[in-house]
Amino acid sequence: MTDAPSTPVSRDELDELARLVTPLDDRPGLEVHAPYDDSVVGTVPLCTPDDVRSAVAEAKSAGDEWSTWPIEDRTAVFARFHDAVLDQREALLDVIQTETGKARADALEEVLDVATTARYYANHAERELASKRRVGAIPLVTKAVEHHHPVGVVGIISPWNYPLSLSVSESIPALLAGNAVVLKPDEGTPFTALWALGVLRECGLPDDVFQVVTGEGPRLGEPLIEGVDYVSFTGSTEVGRTVAETAGRHLTDCSLELGGKNPLLVLDDADVEKAARGAVRGCFANAGQLCISIERIYVHEAVADEFRDAFVRETRGLTLDAGYDYGHDVGSLLDRELLEKVETHVEDAVEKGASVLSGGRARPDLGPYFYEPTILTDVTPDATLADEETFGPVVSLYEVESVSEAIERANDSAYGLNASVWTKQTQRGEQVAARLEAGTVNVNDAYAAAWASIDAPMGGMKDSGVGRRHGRHGLLKYTESQTVATQRVGLLSPPKRGKQAWANGATLGLRLWKRLTEVLP
């Protein structure tokens, strides 16, 4: 193995971030490893269930005060945070790369995402959270107003693959809605979230409103879910079911973004070279460790050979390496467990008849967890990766006879998170997209177009999740809707006498109201 580049983040800097975790006694520490060489780069406190309960209690107390802040004061914090994230971009990229091993360009996506999310909600929260008049039971006689109140304390359980985006971008709308947040980042990648916590406090967020607890998910998950008023979870479908079950027992509302086995469709009129470049980004960004990455490609037979050749050529042109600059395209997998899963999936597929067009092997010469971007063809239905998420740099290529077949096969999955359609006719692509069973569908892009459209909802269908992030959905889910209705004249209930006349009058009124609403704009 070649010598891995030394991390640009010092142990002292990471130890300082670890001090932002509430418990500061001499409890055992949790080691955090750098995927590039598996070295220990720092430790964080190994929190206990009692620590979680204390963090929730402190957050609740601080949140009560935070919720009374004028909305313009809350949004000002995140407007400053937007600027701070961009100003400190390089230092943040160093932290992300240190604990994830991803390529720097992939880490940059997270920085841009968090800045965009902060700006979007800072600009839109006041309007979306404002009380709104609704049509009352009897117009002019009944007044109805919809209010949005913070739910209280939001618990966020975030994964390791995008430790900034999937923790902080989810925390921003929860905080802006007036809630407190207790975040449990993945045990392998806590420092990115702690960096963000420190910067948010520098930008004016009160100290205890945003708490981070570090430690083992199986030990801390249940007390966190039990104690908070709303749960946001991003991770595997298997764990998501457990989170939903626990939340359900406590009647705690939740949103879950789970796994995906995402398809990409290359139609018969696609720009093959453009589609091949887009597919490479969709399949191998962050070494395939992305819930919305592409793992299945369905290519129309009219362009199958041309696309295959272009896709293989583009994939072989990717640079796989370690480094804290922009000099390589694909980084490392997170750890040995991920590497072994990728290896097992590929070996199983090959044993059952699949062919390797590119990649197909680990690269210990580069680092302990590197695996080459891999394209498979002739994958049989009984192969594990035919329908199970690999979550690595592996994609299966299939030839289809028609667009209808491509749609049918794309939808033949328990998952429905993201999809992609490639065609020169955008209207045709949009029509095909609407027939795909996925929460987001990109036309002539793999995933970034939909993900970066922060004003539009993002989430999964079927086993890929419950609820949505982004847009007004991503903000209002962290509120309790309340209707206050005022009856200005009379009562809506029947009188003691004359019930028949009241019934006739009410019926006539509904008929007239229907006719009126049919002619009104």
Active site residues: 257
The answer to whether 198 and 20 have CB atoms below 8 angstroms apart is yes
Mind spelling out the 3-state secondary structure of 360-415?
Answer: CCECCCCCCCCECCEEEECCCCCCHHHCCCCCCCEEEEEEECCHHHHHHHHHCCCE
Q: What is the DSSP string of 209-253?
A: GEEE--S-HHHHHHHHHHHSSEEEEES-HHHHHHHHHHHHHTT-E
Q: Which H helix or E strand runs over 108?
A: helix 104-129
CA distances from 432 to 112, 420, 439 (A): 30, 10, 14
Paired with 395 in beta bridges are 375
Q: What is the DSSP string of 414-474?
A: SEESEEEEE-S-HHHHHHHHHTS-SSEEEESSSSHHHHT-TTS-B--EETTEES-BSHHHH
Q: What would you report as the CA-atom Rg of the chain, rounded to the nearest whole angstrom? A: 26
- Amino acid at the residue 177: A
* Phi, psi (deg, nearest 5) at residue 478: -90, 20
Paired with 501 in beta bridges are none
Q: Where are the beta strands (DSSP E) in 17-109?
A: 29-34, 39-45
The answer to whether 187 and 159 have CB atoms below 8 angstroms apart is no
Residues 6+ apart with CB under 8 A from 324: 5, 7, 8, 93, 94, 97, 104
Paired with 465 in beta bridges are 257
Q: Residue 501: exposed, middle, or buried by beta-carbon count in 10 A (0-12, 13-18, 19+)?
A: exposed
- Which residue, among 287, 308, 277, has the nearest Cα to 376 in the 3D structure? 308
Residues 6+ apart with CB under 8 A from 272: 266, 303, 306, 307, 310
Residues 6+ apart with CB under 8 A from 182: 52, 55, 56, 59, 153, 154, 155, 156, 211, 212, 213, 224, 227, 228
